[in-house]
Amino acid sequence: MSAVPLRTADLGRTERQRVVTVLGATGSIGDSTMDLVRRGGDRFRVEAVTAHSNVEALAKLAREFKVRFAAIADESRLGELRAALAGTGIACGAGEAAVIEAAARPSDWVMAAVSGAAGLKPALAAVDRGATVALANKECLVCAGELFMERALKAGAQVLPADSEHNALFQALASGNREELSRVIITASGGPFRTWPVEAIEQATLEQALKHPNWTMGQKITIDSASMMNKGLEVIEAAHLFALSADEIDVLVHPQSIIHGMVEFADRSVVAQLGAPDMRTPIAHCLGWPERIQGPAARLDLAAIGQLTFEVPDLKRFPGLRLAYEALRAGKGAATVFNAANEVAVAAFVARQIKFGMIARLVEATMAAAASDGTARAPASVDEALAIDHRARNIAASLLPQIAAKAS
Ligand code: NDP
Ligand code: MG
């Protein structure tokens, strides 16, 4: 046997090495992914990393992992990024096109962890070249799920769900065939307002919404978890990932976040995936797939946890989940509108322009307006989906002042 590691020509990798690209490398999912890549040592080589505006963290990762390309979405930061990478030989770029270029460069595996619909085009660039894509960015499936999955199928790209619930379903689905499935159940922690009365939820502050009981995540998804909009997005995400109808997807509140997802088969067997609430477990599953790699999460100690409990979600206190089912059932562009309006509403809540309870009201009003003026039509292409997204954001922004005024 040769002492020199074999190299494959195209990617400059050693044999059995996986070449990876991480979109949104400076975020919460990015951080967990880079932690696993770091622990994996020679098993991984990083081709490219991207961020929105955090030049310092991006340059630090680029240097540590000796990447070949680093992209910053905010064009005004290119000079800073160049300066931070001077003398390293690492190529860099800025703007949306550079993030797309990072995704399009040759690599075996891509983590799509940009937050929001902004992640759609970069994730598609990875899918279109047939890469294995670990998808954390659920908004891109909610915005243009059908088109996204069609493109993946056409290019022969493997989409691996990195979202914990969907990763659980992906693992559990291996126990049977699609035709034998009767429904899937995704769990929800219930967030910080699980036991709060509706009046208190209405008035909840940003600080209260950011205190998630079980998971440490980026700001947008943490607020989505408090409103249960996140679970709504996940219902739509599951529909696209696994070709399921709204009736085949149930949500169960499970405050301990130990069971992440379950699949019920025709014979009434229910197969569940369990694990400590640590995103490094589903990400490790994607990173090693189809093999298993060492995961750093705490071992599951069910005796110490003692009890696993379950509740039916309360759609009155958490209307975001109801709206997601409505969008899924309405089809066409309704989910695109739902997602766009929610992004606008969350940004307004973070900017302290609206109260927490108004997030769902703004989404509902935008969905109604978009349904009646024809905005929520079925998109024939990704560009059309993005046009619907854009139009829905404008509708939401125009409705914002009256929704805010009504409540004060
Ligand atoms: P974060 O906000 O922590 O990170 C987002 C990442 O995307 C950062 O690297 C950020 O760069 C970058 N980014 C933000 N906006 C843009 C943009 N317009 N263009 C290019 N890059 C951008 O989010 P999370 O890591 O929490 O979530 C990422 C995705 O994964 C979301 O879709 C979320 O729903 C999903 N997800 C997250 C989970 C979690 O535990 N965090 C669990 C399951 C799914 P910068 O740092 O410069 O701002
Ligand atoms: Mg999730």
pLDDT at 405: 87
Distance 231 CA to ligand 2 centre (A): 7
The domain defined by 331-407 folds into: Rna Polymerase Sigma Factor; Chain: A (1.10.1740)
pLDDT at 407: 62
The domain defined by 18-162 folds into: Rossmann fold (3.40.50)
Q: 341: buried, middle or exposed (CB in 10 Å: 19+, 13-18, 0-12)?
A: buried
Starting from the CA of residue 136, give the closest ligand. 1
Q: Which regions of the chain carry the CATH code 3.40.50.720?
A: 18-162
pLDDT at 4: 47
Q: Name residues contacting ligand 1 (CB within 6 A).
A: 24-30, 51-54, 73, 99, 113-115, 118, 136-139, 163, 215, 217-221, 279
Residue type at position 387: A
pLDDT at 367: 98
Starting from the CA of residue 257, give the closest ligand. 2
Distance 329 CA to ligand 2 centre (A): 21
Per residue of the chain (408 residues), give pLDDT as tens: 334 445 555 677 777 799 999 999 999 999 999 999 999 999 999 999 999 999 999 999 999 999 999 999 999 999 999 999 999 999 999 999 999 999 999 999 999 999 999 999 999 999 999 999 999 999 999 999 999 999 999 999 999 999 999 999 999 999 999 899 999 999 999 999 999 999 999 999 999 999 998 888 999 999 999 999 999 999 999 999 999 999 999 999 999 999 999 999 999 999 999 999 999 999 999 999 999 999 999 999 999 999 999 999 999 999 999 999 999 999 999 999 999 999 999 999 999 999 999 999 999 999 999 999 999 999 999 999 999 999 999 999 999 999 888 765
Q: Which regions of the chain carry the CATH code 1.10.1740.10?
A: 331-407
Starting from the CA of residue 216, give the closest ligand. 1
Residue to probe by mutation, ligand 1, list 21, 22, 28, 61, most atoms within 8 Å of CB: 28
pLDDT at 33: 98
| Angular region, 306: left φ>0, alpha ψ -120 to 50, beta rest | left
Measured from the CA of 230, which atom of ligand 1 is nearest? 34
